[in-house]
Amino acid sequence: MSPDVAPLTRERVLDAYRTVLRARALDDRRFVLNRAGKLAFIISPRGHEVAQVAAITALDPSRDRFCLYYRNFAAALACGFTPEELMLAAFARAADPSSGGRQTPGNFGSRRRGVIIGSSTVGPQIPKAAGIGLALKWRGEGSLCYVSFGEGATSQGDFHEGLNFAAIHQCPVIFFCENNHWAISVPQRLQVAGPGVAERAAAYGIPGVRVRGDDFFAVHQAVQEAAVRARSGEGPTLIEAEVLRLQSHSTDDDQRAYRDAAELAAEAARDPIPRMREALTKRGWLNDEADAALREEVNREVERATDAAEASPDPDPSTLGRHVYADV
Ligand SMILES: Cc1ncc(C[n+]2csc(CCOP(=O)(O)OP(=O)(O)O)c2C)c(N)n1
């Protein structure tokens, strides 16, 4: 094991679990606020949280770069965004650190945290990450670029360009595909021929790994191994984490219109959060009392973050053209 790898202690895993709970509770609140007409639009990470937090926990936010995508709400928390900051984005307030309330709330950006803002377009973060990886390689500091996307994004030309470039130039990049088997209403079989995304790595001459996205330890290990490879100059890895989309694509979508009711019920019963709780309980790292205390703490954070963000001012309309046109 590389000396770069921080051991996965009980404290770090419980911290990750708290982040998972935080993501779920904040997202539930966002959903209610959306239905109450207070938030315009959000994209839920429901079902992806454990995989996202496990992946980021295996990396080093103090030196790595992160090209996140719109469903990475839990990943953003793991990168250090606070609940209040994410609520400011949801309410599109001026103090939203990503874009001052200008972008949709899933476009996360924070220079000091190494989170590079994306766009709502599917895929362009992938070749961007390859380029960032090349720059990091030239700097020679042992840092890497992590980029995430759904399986639908792998149908974009950007996927090929990014993986091909990163593989040829041995860039320190981790390509993390969160395969929830749906791209809005398009199922995986109409998006990817063959068993899945991981197999595509072979065409680029890089390792491809498929992992269960509801297994915190398995995802963490896969990302940690990819990070060791990247940091030691062995190039990129493609990881496919199989996850569930337990919510519709966005608050503007209703998946009951195109998904089978029995399948939705079966997936709801496979929620990864109880699985993570069970895994921690088995290790003797968590009990019912500690779990309840964590949930209470997280609920209080959600209350505080919501109140603070709601009371925060909107962007000044006179700044409408900022970041779009040159300031004159
Ligand atoms: C280039 C482009 N095409 C289409 C869209 C519309 N769109 C937004 S999200 C999405 C689905 C992407 O699915 P996937 O990559 O599997 O990620 P998921 O949303 O399931 O996490 C589509 C088609 C877009 N934003 N950009």
| Residue 204's CATH number | 3.40.50.970
Return the residue whose CA atom lies nearest to atom 21 of ligand 1: 150
Residue 1: count other Cβ atoms within 10 Å of its Cβ: 8
Phi, psi of 173 (to 5 degrees): -130, 140
Question: With a 6 A CB cut-off, is 121 part of the ligand 1 pocket?
Answer: yes
CB 105 within 8 A of CB 68: no
List the beta bridge partners of residue 250.
none
169 is catalytic: no
Judge whether 1 lies within some domain: no
Judge whether 225 lies within some domain: yes
Q: Mean pLDDT of successive 10-residue segments in the chain (328 residues)?
A: 74 98 98 96 97 98 96 98 98 96 92 93 97 97 97 98 98 98 97 95 98 98 98 98 98 97 97 98 97 98 98 94 81
Catalytic residue among 12, 256, 258, 270: 258
3-state secondary structure at position 255: helix
Tell me which DSSP letter residue 257 carries.
G
- Residue 6: per-residue pLDDT: 80
Question: With a 6 A CB cut-off, is 153 part of the ligand 1 pocket?
Answer: yes
- Residue 327: per-residue pLDDT: 75
Judge whether 326 lies within some domain: no
Tell me which DSSP letter residue 6 carries.
P
Pull the structure tokens for residue 16. 């990750």
Cα separations in angstroms, 285 against 16, 50, 99, 289:
13, 17, 38, 12
What burial class does residue 318 get, using C-beta atoms within 10 Å of its C-beta: 0-12 exposed, 13-18 middle, 19+ buried?
exposed
CB 185 within 8 A of CB 258: yes
Judge whether 267 lies within some domain: yes
The pTM of the full predicted model, rounded to 2 decimals, is 0.97
Q: Which domain holds residue 64?
A: 10-309
The C-alpha torsion from 300 through 304 and 307 to 310, rounded to 10°, is -120
Judge whether 322 lies within some domain: no
Tell me which DSSP letter residue 232 carries.
T
Question: With a 6 A CB cut-off, is 2 part of the ligand 1 pocket?
Answer: no
Judge whether 217 lies within some domain: yes
Ligand 1 pocket test, candidate residues 184, 192, 255, most atoms within 8 A of CB = 184
CB 246 within 8 A of CB 46: yes
Return the residue whose CA atom lies nearest to atom 8 of ligand 1: 122
Judge whether 315 lies within some domain: no
Question: With a 6 A CB cut-off, is 213 part of the ligand 1 pocket?
Answer: no
CB 228 within 8 A of CB 163: no
258 is catalytic: yes
Return the residue whose CA atom lies nearest to atom 4 of ligand 1: 122
Report which ligand 1 atom has the smallest distance to the Cα of 153.
15
Question: With a 6 A CB cut-off, is 120 part of the ligand 1 pocket?
Answer: yes
Ligand 1 pocket test, candidate residues 41, 68, 122, most atoms within 8 A of CB = 122
Judge whether 222 lies within some domain: yes
Count of structural domains within the chain = 1
